[in-house]
Amino acid sequence: MSKLQAPLVECFSSIQGEGVLVGLRQVFLRFAGCNLNCSFCDTPGMSAVPQECLLELTPGRRDFQQLPNPVTLERVATLLESWGAAWPGIHHSISITGGEPLLYGALLDEWLPELRKLLPIYLETNGTLPEALAPLIPHLDSIGMDIKLPSASGCPELWDQHHAFLELAAMKEVFVKIVVDQSTEEWEIRRSCAMIGAVDPAIPLILQPLTREDGTIGITAQRALELQELCTSLKEVRVIPQTHKFMGQL
């Protein structure tokens, strides 16, 4: 068992609300910290490590216990083993998420083989750290990576990082997610599709309408369809909002 301890925000059970795994039940292991500062981030304050991590004792019941950070792998694994024994088969996989979990590549290299003995591993990532992804490929089952558009995210252009990341991620089951809003420009979508197509046009693309803090959607239905129409070079393009938001799920 790894002696490395992780700066965690929370560990809980819920349904996946985004991407191609939407609706499936997962264990969410959320790491603190991020290398980006997206304007639409739904987990603000991720740059700092909280003093305490929230661990859900009963899956899906929100009976959280506060534990001091950092947290040991043994504590997390023991919790998930107890869930597997008492509620066998309810979870599809473990979502390794953040923030940006690849900031902790060396730790994940030790943790993931142990966690993968319990459930398949799904990595949620902003797709900008290919050098951290490479050693972890053998420990992953699926990857959901973002392409951060400058218009919607407020981030600088990250095309080279995204392309290098996608080439590695394509070694596993992978899909690409792009948050879009009314400011999204057509050239951004075309460039994203060209990048994905150059790696593999069969990689699914998810256009995710931006959800504002008040729960409203930041793009009209017509504009979302117009953006989808730009993606005909790819084999599978879906428009999927953050379903967990309007269901009241974590």
Binding annotation for [4Fe-4S] cluster: 34, 38, 41
User: Which residues are documented as binding site for S-adenosyl-L-methionine?
Assistant: 40-42, 99
Helix ranges restricted to H, the chain: 73-86, 105-115, 130-133, 150-153, 159-169, 186-199, 221-228, 243-247
Which of helix, strand or coil describes residue 81? helix
b/e map of 85-96 (b: 16 or more CB within 10 Å)?
A: eeeeeebbbbbb
Structure-block tokens of residue 193: 């599709």
User: Which residues are documented as binding site?
Assistant: 15-17, 30, 34, 38, 40-43, 97, 99
Amino acid at 248: G
φ and ψ at 30, to 5 degrees? Answer: -100, 120
CB of 126 within 8 A of CB of 32?
no
User: Which residues are documented as binding site for Mg(2+)?
Assistant: 43
